[in-house]
Amino acid sequence: MPWEIVRPDDGLPAARRSVRCRACGKELTFTVYSVTGTGRRQARWRASAWGGLGTLVAGVAVLFSGAIVGVGVALVIAGPILGLVFGTAASDEVGISGHGNGFPVTNAKHSVTASPPPHDLPDLTCTRCGHMEEFPRAAYFRDDYVREQYEAARDRFARHVCLASGGTGPK
Ligand SMILES: [Zn+2]
Ligand SMILES: [Zn+2]
């Protein structure tokens, strides 16, 4: 079910947010991270994924040294698995944890995924001269910021000097 949550501002600690499950009626509390906090969590998973690669490399080195073959084999097998698990966790990380969400290899009953931000604002393009009024709309911008910028861009667009109508502006 859709659930709209407000992330804490950057620099603030993670916040607890509750939602009632529509299927089982349970009140669930999740920990929600700020945008930069989410980025840090993703970076940590990625670092762990590189650790998996390091494990593989170490395993190969142990095998070549012929020291302890069993350990070498174990490391060579474990390395790619760790890399895959942590790499997947990095791409699944949405900065919302709780009830098994945000942990690798758990198929949580109550899981949260992030939908793409709703910056689906119409393009400001003049159909007569092709002039396009730009506004910031990147996914990591806050929705109210984008909306504010969009409104400013729309004002500029309304006053744009339209080349197709002889430089007099639209209507
Ligand atoms: Zn439920
Ligand atoms: Zn125009």
Q: Quick one: which ligand is closest to 19's CA?
A: 1
The ligand minimizing its distance to the Cα of 21 is: 1
Region 143-148 average pLDDT: 81
1 in any annotated domain: no
Tell me what pLDDT residue 36 has.
87
Distance 135 CA to ligand 2 centre (A): 17
Please tell me whether the overall predicted TM-score, pTM, comes out greater than 0.75 for this model: no
Residue 32 lies in a domain: yes
Specify if 110 maps to a domain: no
The domain in which residue 138 lies consists of 124-165
Say if 107 falls within a structural domain.
no
Q: How far is the CA of 168 from the centre of ligand 2 (A)?
A: 10
Which ligand has the nearest atom to the CA of 166? Answer: 2
Q: What is the mean pLDDT of the chain?
A: 83
CA-to-CA dists, residue 63 to 39, 46, 69, 79, 162, angstroms: 37, 26, 6, 14, 71
Same domain, yes or no: 92 and 143: no
pLDDT exceeds cutoff 90 at 102: no
Residue 60 covered by a domain: yes
pLDDT digits (tens, 9 = 90+) for 43-67: 899 899 999 999 999 899 888 887 7
Higher-confidence residue: 57 or 171? 57
Token couple for 110: 């109550």
Confidence of residue 115 (pLDDT cuts 50, 70, 90): low
Please count the structural domains in the chain. Answer: 2
Residue 45 Cα, ligand 2 centroid: separation in angstroms? 48
Q: How far does residue 137's CA lie from ligand 2's centre (Å)?
A: 22
Question: Ligand 2 centroid to 28 CA: how many Å?
Answer: 51
Least confident of 27-31, 64-68, 99-103, 145-149: 99-103
